[in-house]
């Protein structure tokens, strides 16, 4: 199976973004084994003095893998750019009661933005990562397309949908045709320290930590009423709208409400003007067939001006649902789904697909 997409742009020296995980480790190994000129690069996105700075284990593991493969290894401090272009956005969205998607911005601005500028100084033509995605060159249009990988269960195109044409042109995803099981097997055969390391989960800078506890360190706690969707009855107190997301049923501490059965309660809506959290035991109230999105980006660099049909995801793990997309000006569009979609959440991304191609997407602004 080819490691690199066919296209008119020659591949010279390749910088592999080594994260200290198994996927990027195998990515570097495969490219080096295939005879490419490869270097390893590690991004430090937090100041070492910052309490948010991840464990030094990741950096050490990345360096160890590079040494074992026998490739040069560099560490770059991108913490200032990360704070300004990703973390500030994350906090600002949460202040508005939205649920942001900072990993998407990290890919656009940091991994395939500032890091590309850095590797230029090292004579690299391309950057490779351990993302499960595919870049395909379409000779008829002259565009590089972002497409889903063979292992669809690990597909990460949702988080890559904001990549610009010039970024896709220089991006390599050598794991496109490999299942996760094969990645683990290769890493074990090579004796990499990352072979049995757990996959990272959650938001890039939060990881396994409690989301609410993390936010409480950075945003003021603003308690307010929890009210029912049907009657507006006050049934509890929330700790701040930022700490909840649509569809959430845990940690609401709502129960024993007179006139209601002992059934789970779900977050149905956030009312920012009145600082109220709306809940209901009827989870069908989370279903919607329409949304509007802003902050649009399409991987061709051209925003459509006419309606089109495709499928769309409203979160990473959601199914792609058939829909009609209608442009509403230069930076807003409407999406009408053919079937109800659960818990469409403002601040998250809606991402469009046509067959196996990821077309791009936008930020969900309103629902219904």
Q: What is the pLDDT of residues 7-42, one digit of tens each?
A: 788 899 999 999 999 999 999 999 999 999 999 999
Q: What is the DSSP string of 87-103?
A: IHHHHHHHHTT----HH
Helix (H) or strand (E) holding 323: strand 321-327
What distance lies between CA 177 and its chain's CA centroid? 21
Residues ≥6 apart with Cβ < 8 Å to 326 = 307, 333, 334, 335, 336
CA dist 8 and 225 (Å) reads 59
Closest CA to 5 of 179, 165, 170: 170
Which residue numbers in the chain have pLDDT < 50? none
Residues ≥6 apart with Cβ < 8 Å to 9 = 125, 169, 170
Residue that has been written with the tokens 């351990």 in this structure? 130
Domains of the chain by start residue, with CATH: 13-190 (3.40.50.620), 220-281 (2.30.30.280), 286-367 (2.40.30.10)
Confidence at residue 228, expressed as pLDDT on a 0 to 100 scale: 97
Q: φ and ψ at 329, to 5 degrees?
A: 115, -165
CA 228 to each of CA 29, 83, 237, 239, 243: distance values in angstroms, whole numbers, following the listed order: 55, 38, 12, 16, 18
Confidence at residue 207, expressed as pLDDT on a 0 to 100 scale: 53
Instruction: Give me 317's structure tokens.
Output: 């793990």
- Whole-model pTM? 0.92
What pLDDT digit, counting tens, does each position of 57-106 carry? 788 999 999 999 999 999 999 989 998 999 999 999 988 889 998 899 99
CA dist 282 and 247 (Å) reads 11
CA dist 316 and 131 (Å) reads 14
CA dist 15 and 21 (Å) reads 16
Q: Which residues are catalytic?
A: 106, 204
Q: Contact, 153 vs 68, CB < 8 A?
A: no
């Amino acid at each position: 199976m080819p490691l690199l997409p066919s296209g008119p742009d020659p591949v010279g020296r390749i910088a592999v973004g080594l994260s200290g995980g198994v996927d990027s480790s195998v990515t570097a190994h495969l490219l080096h084994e295939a005879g490419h000129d490869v270097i390893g690069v590690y991004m430090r996105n937090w100041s070492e003095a910052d309490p948010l700075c991840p464990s030094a284990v990741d950096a050490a593991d990345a360096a160890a893998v590079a040494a074992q493969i026998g490739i040069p290894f560099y560490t770059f401090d991108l913490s200032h750019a990360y704070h300004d272009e990703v973390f500030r956005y994350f906090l600002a969205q949460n202040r508005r009661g939205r649920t942001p998607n900072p990993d998407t911005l990290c890919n656009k601005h940091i991994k395939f933005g500032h890091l590309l500028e850095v590797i230029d100084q090292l004579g690299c033509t391309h950057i490779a990562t351990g993302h499960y995605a595919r870049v395909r060159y379409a000779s008829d249009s002259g565009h590089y397309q972002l497409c889903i990988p063979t292992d669809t269960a690990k597909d990460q195109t949702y988080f890559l949908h904001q990549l610009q044409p010039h970024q896709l042109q220089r991006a390599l995803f050598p794991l496109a045709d490999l299942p996760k099981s094969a990645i683990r097997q290769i890493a074990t055969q090579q004796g990499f320290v990352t072979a049995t390391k757990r996959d990272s989960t959650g938001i890039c800078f939060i990881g396994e930590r409690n989301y609410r506890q993390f936010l409480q360190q950075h945003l003021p706690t603003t308690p307010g009423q929890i009210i029912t969707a049907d009657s507006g009855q006050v049934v509890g107190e929330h700790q701040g709208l930022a700490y909840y997301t649509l569809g959430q049923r845990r940690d609401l501490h709502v129960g024993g409400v007179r006139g209601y059965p002992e059934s789970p309660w779900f977050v149905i809506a956030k009312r920012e003007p009145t600082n109220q959290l709306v809940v209901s035991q009827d989870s069908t109230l989370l279903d919607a067939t329409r949304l509007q999105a802003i902050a649009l980006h399409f991987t061709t660099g051209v925003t459509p001006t006419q309606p089109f049909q495709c499928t769309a995801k409203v979160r990473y793990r959601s199914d792609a649902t058939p829909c009609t997309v209608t442009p509403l000006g230069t930076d807003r569009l409407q999406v009408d789904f053919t079937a109800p979609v659960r818990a469409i959440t403002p601040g998250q991304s809606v991402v469009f697909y046509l067959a196996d191609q990821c077309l791009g997407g936008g930020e969900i602004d309103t629902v219904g």
